Amino acid sequence: MARAVPELARGHAAEYATLLRGDHEELRRRSRPEVWSPLEYACHMRDVLLAQRERVLLTRREDTPTAQNMGRDARVEHEGYAEQQPADVARQLGDAALLFANVLDRLAPVDWDRTIIYLFPEPQERSVRWVAVHTLHELRHHLLDMRRQLEN
């Protein structure tokens, strides 16, 4: 499964881009105050792909490094997710998926078993294989979150 992640990540990024062509107000609207808007989910996934890319690269440079917290919730406000332009986010998310996929495509078989201390939900040693599959899960999960909100 992990070796299929690069192609799947690129494909999911294209699906995000399609959704981001919608009405800007609808993309910025939160269904509830505690739930991110579709645009905020897309921004989050862009940043997750970039963070995961850096984590995979880190595992190639260091033995069992500790991942840095990406500040998931703080980024929404700090980066102004809701004010960003959907077309820009679509392009950036596509680029982030390409960058992440490139790093995975370049892994040797032994690299998939390299590990990192992943902090969420609690500190635990995880393989690069797990990081790749977990990232794919996040792409799929938040794509579904976006679709559900846009259908309402």
Q: What is the pLDDT of residue 63?
A: 97
Would you state the pLDDT for residue 98?
98
**3-state SS, one letter per residue, for 64-123:** CCECCCCCHHHHHHHCCHHHCCHHHHHHHHHHHHHHHHHHHHCCCHHHHHCEEEECCCCC
Predicted TM-score of the model (pTM) = 0.96
pLDDT one-digit tens code per residue, 56-86: 999 999 999 999 999 999 999 999 999 999 9
Residues in contact with 113: Cβ distance below 8 Å, sequence separation at least 6, in sequence order: 127, 128, 129
Q: Which residues of the chain have pLDDT under 70?
A: none
Contact 104, 56 (CB under 8 A): yes
So what's the pLDDT on residue 95? 98
- Residue 20: helix, strand or coil by DSSP? coil
pLDDT reported for residue 1: 87
Note whether 96 and 49 are within 8 A (CB): yes
Is residue 13 within 8 A of residue 44, CB to CB? The reply is no
pLDDT at 121: 86
**Residue 86 corresponds to which tokens in the numbers above?**
């959907």
Task: Give the residue from 86, 82, 75 showing the smallest Cα distance to 40.
Answer: 82
